[in-house]
């Protein structure tokens, strides 16, 4: 079946440095790739997403890149700050209003920012 | 305030005792979904619904039921809970954008279920 692999499972970076989390997906019909941040005791919250017709998207310190040929996408966080410490999840979906589809999540990356 | 609410937030029950976890959203979203979150496994989709009276299985549907009689509500039903259903459960909802593609998912605060 479809799956999404996410690496690394844990990541520790010095405050101010960059962090990169990578995901690969198996379903070539996937067209929507969101990234979620989950803080302790809370539900996941969308931080950025990208669709299959775009190769890169940036929002301030956060960027996502997509390589459809290789079926992988990555989250880049620059100038990391203590409040970036959280668990991050990638996901892939081919859902459209005209066709039902599951959403597949990666297993998560625990990001720790060292002061 | 736009939100997804779940009840209860915490539940301890015993094997075989039927339970329902409610989920409600006030954003008029078509797509609703239930996930379970387990350590090292991330979020796994249990069931999803594209609209009223339209539901389908996710990756781990065994032992669960859902219904979508109204657009705003999407309850998760465990007819005969077992200890392997002990988990953290999240409900989520989203719109389809003008292009018919799935848009941002909004998650509820979670329900921590323990089945003894």
- Residue A97 confidence (pLDDT) above 80: no
- CA of A45 to nearest chain B CA: how many angstroms apart? 7
Interface-testing mutation among A3, A6, A44, A50, with chain B (most B C-beta atoms within 10 A)? A44
Where helices occur in chain B by DSSP H, the ranges are none
Distance CA A33, CA A10 (A): 21
- Residue A1 confidence (pLDDT) above 80: no
**Closest listed residue to residue B33, CA positions, set B60, B10, B63:** B60
| Environment class of A83 (CB within 10 Å of its CB; exposed 0-12, middle 13-18, buried 19+) | exposed
- Residue B101 confidence (pLDDT) above 90: no
pLDDT for A100 equals 67
A9-61 residue pLDDT tens: 999 999 999 999 999 999 888 889 999 999 998 999 999 999 888 899 999 99
pLDDT for B100 equals 79
Share of chain A above pLDDT 90, in %: 77
Interface-testing mutation among A92, A95, A98, A104, with chain B (most B C-beta atoms within 10 A)? A95
Kindly state the tokens that stand for A12: 């520790």
* Residue burial B90-112, b: 16+ Cβ < 10 Å; e: rest: bbbbbbbeeeebbbebbbbebbe
Kindly state the tokens that stand for B38: 């387990």
- Residue A114 confidence (pLDDT) above 80: yes
Kindly state the tokens that stand for B41: 């496994």
Inter-chain touch A34–B100, beta carbons under 8 Å: no
Phi/psi at A33 (5° precision):
-135, 90
Inter-chain touch A107–B40, beta carbons under 8 Å: yes
The confidence band for B49, taking pLDDT boundaries of 50, 70 and 90, is very high
Q: Quick one: average pLDDT of B6-33?
A: 96
């Amino acid at each position: 079946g479809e799956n999404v692999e996410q690496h690394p499972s844990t990541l520790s970076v010095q405050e101010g440095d960059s962090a990169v989390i990578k995901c690969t997906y198996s379903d070539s019909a996937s067209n929507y790739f969101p990234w979620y941040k989950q803080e302790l005791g809370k539900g996941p919250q969308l931080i950025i997403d990208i669709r299959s017709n775009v190769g890169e998207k940036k929002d301030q310190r956060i960027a996502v890149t997509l390589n459809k040929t290789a079926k992988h996408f990555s989250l880049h966080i620059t100038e990391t700050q203590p409040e970036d410490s959280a668990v991050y999840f990638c996901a892939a979906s081919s859902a459209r209003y005209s066709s039902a589809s599951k959403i597949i999540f990666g297993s998560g990356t625990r990001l720790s920012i060292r002061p | 305030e736009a939100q997804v609410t779940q009840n209860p937030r915490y539940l301890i029950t015993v094997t075989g005792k039927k339970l329902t976890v409610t989920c409600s959203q006030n954003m008029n979203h078509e797509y609703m979904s239930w996930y379970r979150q387990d350590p090292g496994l991330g979020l796994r989709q249990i069931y999803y619904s594209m609209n009223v009276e339209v539901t389908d299985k996710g990756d781990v549907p065994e032992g669960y039921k859902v219904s979508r009689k109204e657009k705003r509500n999407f309850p998760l039903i465990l007819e005969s809970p077992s200890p392997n259903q002990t988990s953290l459960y999240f409900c989520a909802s989203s719109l389809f954008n003008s292009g018919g593609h799935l848009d941002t998912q909004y998650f509820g605060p979670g329900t921590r279920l323990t089945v003894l």
